[in-house]
Structure 1
Amino acid sequence: MDLRARLVGGLVGYFVLLIVLACVLIALALREDVLEEVDASSRLVDLMLAMSDAGEHRLARVESLIAEGGMRHLAVTLERDGEPVAQEAAAGGVPRWLAAVLPHA
């Protein structure tokens, strides 16, 4: 057998093994981070659903979700400067703050 073919075959096998090992290590390192991102996304969805809920305990639920924290890359606060904390929806089910900035059709 030609030594060049054996050397090339060995090097190709070594580099394939190295690439597979690197992919496994990266997947293991990112798994926890991805799980934290998914958890933070579900908390954000819970917060958005709590804001759209029409129940009388909406404000308490929103405040408890904000107090829990865990929203990665986001800072969520309630404003109380003369405005109601939870604004009622305008016509069409759109919140008033959003209806004020949307173009009128």
Structure 2
Amino acid sequence: MIVYRPIGVIHSPFKNVRGIPIQPRAAEGVEGVVEIFPEYVEGLKDLEGFSHIILLYHLHLVENYRLLVKPYMDDELRGVFATRAPARPNPIGISVVRLVK
């Protein structure tokens, strides 16, 4: 069994799945806050030298998954792994975001 411990929480203006853009380009100008738990703050040392960071996160609003999905603006069923659909067997998301401060 693989077990991960959260090291923080991402706070964003998106409060439900329906309002979240499917492509990062559609969220341009949107800012969020990454709150790192105190016991992991030391690991942020030297991060200020970077323009972007990679966030891995648990898609906690996804309740069930399907192996075949109909992507936005597509009429055909596709395999979930060929899409950006969040409802997947392991609800893990990834984003490259600009580091503001």
TM-score (norm 1): 0.18
Hey, which of these two has a bigger chunk of helix by percent?
1
Hey, which of these two has a bigger chunk of strand by percent?
2
Q: Which has the larger radius of gyration?
A: 1
Which of structures 1 and 2 has the larger relative contact order (alpha carbons within 8 angstroms, sep 6+)? 2
TM-score (norm 2): 0.18
